[in-house]
Amino acid sequence: MRNFVVAFALATFTFGFTTNALAVAEFLGNKGADTPNITIGYQFYGFNNSEFKEVPQWLNGLQREARRFLRRELGLKLKLQLAYIARPIKDLESKIEDWKKATSTLSPFTILRYLKDFFDRRYNTDIVCLVTKEPLYYTKTSNSLGYAIHSTLCETEVPMLLTYNKNEVNETGYHFGLLIRESIKNFEFRDWWSKTFEGKKKYFDNCNRYILDTMKG
């Protein structure tokens, strides 16, 4: 039988790291909800406990700007729900150390494909963000604030990369909102705005998930 640990911080931010994301909230989707909810797990790499004191304020600003962007771009209000804050577990932390050695040549596509497989087998939130103090990847055309490639929001978990910069929280939040918008399957601006309000909400019916199976390695 699967073992689940039920303990989560949803109303407020957790002021400290969990060693691993051993916290579970199980949601039943957004059907019938007045405001669709998107669950987000944050994995912070390279932060000590002292540096982390600034993270809750940064996250509040990040999500506020992302919500504003999405309401304007999508024509409806969305909740961005903090599911957990965690340090990467040992396997992922070791992989990040390897990536850091190859930053000058590493593609964000390589990282995101790995994260997709890694988190699909361990966590089940709508979005998982790996937040680092320096970009792990290099391309001449990418935005150093963040990157994402998967367009499976509300179908499978979407991994994203974000770079922490306390002086660019508004810019990062705007970019985060853009990444979320682009993670909508087959998103086209004209097609989206041809939908009724209820049609837009319906897309998010299968979001609002957070299930962690602690038996998965």
Question: How far is residue 28's CA from residue 210's CA, in Å, rounded to a whole number?
Answer: 9
Angle (CA) 11-9-33 rounded to 5° is 55
Residue bearing the bigger pLDDT, 18 or 41: 41
Token reading at 112: 């995101």
Question: How far is residue 209's CA from residue 194's CA, in Å, rounded to a whole number?
Answer: 27
Predicted confidence (pLDDT) per residue in 166-210, tens digit: 899 999 999 999 999 999 999 999 999 999 999 999 999 999 987
The DSSP code sequence of 42-78 is EEEES--HHHHTTHHHHHHHHHHHHHHHHHHHHSS--
User: Which residues partner with 80 through β-bridges?
Assistant: 38
Query: Whole-model pTM?
Result: 0.84
Question: How far is residue 82's CA from residue 36's CA, in Å, rounded to a whole number?
Answer: 14
Please, which pLDDT band fits residue 109 given cuts at 50, 70 and 90? confident
The arithmetic mean of pLDDT across residues 93-119, rounded, is: 84
Residue 143 has pLDDT above 80, yes or no: no
Q: Which domains does the chain have, with CATH numbers?
A: 37-215 (3.40.390.10)
Supply the pLDDT for residue 23: 46
Question: How far is residue 112's CA from residue 130's CA, in Å, rounded to a whole number?
Answer: 10
Token reading at 100: 């850091």
- Based on its alpha-carbon atoms, the radius of gyration of the chain, rounded to whole angstroms, reads 17
Contact 43, 86 (CB under 8 A): yes
